[in-house]
Amino acid sequence: MFSKATFITSIVLFGCLCGLPAMLFAHGVDENTKQFLLDNQGVSVFPFLYIGGKHMVTGYDHLLFLIGVIFFLYRTKDIMVYVTLFTIGHSLTLMTGVLNHIAVNPYLIDAIIGFSVVYKGFDNLGGFQRLLGYQPNTKVAVLIFGLFHGFGLATKLQEFHIPKEGLLENLIAFNVGVELGQCFALVVVLIGISFWRRHRSFLQFSTATNSLLMSGGLLLIAYQLAGYYLHTTG
């Protein structure tokens, strides 16, 4: 029988996936933020701090991946290790990508980020053990995908041709904002998962949940590849 917690969780997950197509087109930079980035001159620490935090909190692709990463992590130490690896990865490529003008096609990089969500859901389901007979190093995988997530952030910032004056300071502020937004989102997710773990439905529906996670990642891949095709052939 469904418990109340199970019913609510199922509705939330279903709603998130149903709303994903609309989120795909809404995700990115809103008009006010876009105008600020285009007009900004010099050091603007607090605005970039806010923009970084906002981008992470509303970045469903990053959040879906992190949900997959921490889904079966019960110890605070383990959560800290994996989140730190992800942070190192995306911070490194975010800074390197913008400062050295390393651009990646936004559709393709977002498709890879979508693949990271599929990978983590598949990993949580024990797919590698069943299909290949061995378990890839999960820590290395999180670090590598963190690098791709960072390139995604760097690519979005480079679209606005931010002036070189104050670029390093603004970029550091943006990255700190991303980390603060990530911490806030993780706290909310951990509270929700911790509550769910008190019920037997957590293990009963972990397969369905990670299957939904994979479905969300596949939707991300499909939309981004479709966007890439339309952009290159249009």
What digits encode the pLDDT tens for the residues 91-131? 999 999 999 988 889 999 999 999 999 999 999 999 999 98
Task: Tell me the pLDDT band of 31, cut-offs 50, 70 and 90.
Answer: low
pLDDT score for 156:
85
Which pTM value belongs to this model? Answer: 0.84
For residues 166 and 175, what is the distance between their CA atoms, to the nearest angstrom? Answer: 14
**Lowest mean pLDDT, pick from 117-121, 201-205, 227-231:** 201-205
Task: Confirm if 157 and 30 have CB atoms less than 8 A apart.
Answer: no
Task: Confirm if 130 and 79 have CB atoms less than 8 A apart.
Answer: no
Give Cα 108 to chain centroid, integer Å. Answer: 15
pLDDT score for 211:
94
Is residue 180 scored above 80 in pLDDT? yes
In this prediction, residues 127-148 reach a mean pLDDT of 94
For residues 69 and 129, what is the distance between their CA atoms, to the nearest angstrom? Answer: 17
Task: Tell me the pLDDT band of 38, cut-offs 50, 70 and 90.
Answer: low
User: What is the dihedral angle through the alpha carbons of 34, 40, 88, 107, rounded to the nearest 10 degrees?
Assistant: 30
Task: Confirm if 106 and 155 have CB atoms less than 8 A apart.
Answer: yes
pLDDT score for 33:
67
pLDDT score for 232:
87
In this prediction, residues 184-208 reach a mean pLDDT of 89
For residues 52 and 170, what is the distance between their CA atoms, to the nearest angstrom? Answer: 10
pLDDT score for 29:
59
pLDDT score for 6:
44
Report the 3 state secondary structure along the chain: CCCHHHHHHHHHHHHHHHCHHHHHHHCCCCHHHHHHHHHCCCCCHHHHHHHHHHHHHCCHHHHHHHHHHHCCCCCHHHHHHHHHHHHHHHHHHHHHHHHCCCCCCHHHHHHHHHHHHHHHHHHHCCHHHHHHCCCCCHHHHHHHHHHHHHHHHHHHHHCCCCCCCCHHHHHHHHHHHHHHHHHHHHHHHHHHHHHHHCCCHHHHCHHHHHHHHHHHHHHHHHHHHHHHHHHHHC
Which of these, 191, 73, 51, lies nearest to 139 by C-alpha position?
73
